[in-house]
Amino acid sequence: LSPAKIWRHLNHDRINFEYAEYCMKAMLWHGTGGLDAYLDSEPFRENCRAIIAVKRRRDPLLALLHPLFPGFLIEQIRNAATTHALGQFWRVMSDIFIDLANAERAGTVRSIPAVVDFIKDGLVAAAANPIHYGVAIDGQTFWVLPPEAKLTFLVDVAVPYVEAVFLRGMPFLGTVSFNAQAQQISPDQARFAYGALYADPLPTMGAGIPPSLLMQDMYRHLPEPLHQWYLERTRGEGDVREKICRSFQKSMFCVTNAAINGTMPHALTTSDPEEQAANKAYAGSWAERLAAGRTDCLGR
């Protein structure tokens, strides 16, 4: 610790992990896809019991508390498993985005359709990547997400991530009333529309508003050419975080589009009328939801 480091921290010159935690909680709460199904299964509970049994022998406090609150440690393991799965998801996405940046600099990607195709190809290439998670305790390895669960990158983590984080999300405290009697928040989680694609670009920078802090993180790491591009538009540095938010939403529309294309029932190049109709129906169900998003950012 140093006065300079503390000062930078107080001025938000630091990486914030609030949005990462928000993403994990959104996936855990909305519970869609194969990962969530496994976390509710009996094999997962058996794995948890084996881990807890070993930990209780090492920790007298856990040995005392676990019988009183038998669901608490299982919930903590469920949190850790979701976080670890997201880490594997973000590892793949990070590589895709770095490769995309290199392709843009090389001039091989010059349009939004090309961006979507690039991301789709990366998602499809990683689609079957296994999602595993094990922990070592006293020299023994205990599986939390074992190979037998057959969890894979695209259908079990990536698509549920799009559903939970880009589309559904969760209302942020202090910005939406939680008046249950007035039903200002739908009791049906499937109708939630608080995800990144619907967010208003309001960089309040207040605690508990993760998108604002995410904008700050991206601002700290802006490539200089992009920073200059922002400075030449509208209010320059004055609304740079709002412009970053719009760019972020535009990029997330590209990722969503790529995920939809990569999970079509049939190949996009099919000439079979029935397969084309199935693809059209699948795309239409997504388009209906996306039409209510911040599509105004797409033209900027």
- Of 14-28, 97-111, 131-145, the least confident: 14-28
Residue 89, in any domain of the structure: yes
pLDDT at 241: 87
Note whether residue 78 is domain-resident: yes
User: Residue 206 — φ and ψ, nearest 5°?
Assistant: -85, 150
Residue 6 belongs to a domain: no
Task: Report DSSP letters for 2-68, one per residue.
Answer: -HHHHHHHHTT-S---HHHHHHHHHHHHH--HHHHHHHTSHHHHHHHHHHHHHHHHH-HHHHHHTTT
pLDDT of residue 78: 96
Residue where the block lists tokens 């190049």: 269
Pick the more confident residue, 207 or 191: 191
CB 186 within 8 A of CB 179: no
What pTM, to 2 d.p., does this model score?
0.86
Cα 71 to Cα 28, 45, 49: the distances in Å are 15, 10, 11
For residue 9, is pLDDT > 90? no
Identify which of 142, 154, 22 has the alpha carbon closest to the alpha carbon of residue 85. 154
Q: How do residues 203-249 score in pLDDT, each as one tens digit?
A: 666 666 777 778 888 888 888 988 999 999 878 888 888 888 888 88
**Quick check: is 10 in a domain?**
no
**Averaged pLDDT of the chain:** 89
pLDDT at 170 over 80: yes
Q: Does a structural domain hold residue 5?
A: no
Q: Is the pLDDT of residue 117 over 70?
A: yes
Counted domains in the chain: 1
pLDDT, residue 120, reads 94
Share of the chain above pLDDT 90, in %: 58
> Is 60 contained in some domain?
yes
Which SS3 state, helix, strand or coil, does residue 144 take? strand
Report the percentage of the chain scoring pLDDT > 70. 96
pLDDT at 208: 64
In which domain, by residue range, is 260 found? 15-173+180-299
Secondary structure letter of residue 107 according to DSSP:
T
Averaged pLDDT, 247-272: 91
- Taking residues 135-144, report their average pLDDT: 93
Mean pLDDT of 29-45: 93
Q: Is 8 contained in some domain? A: no
Residues for the chain: how many in total? 300
Tokens of 194: 């608080």
- Three-state SS letters, 173-215: CCCCCCCCCCCCCCCCHHHCCCCCCCCCCCCCCCCCCHHHHHH
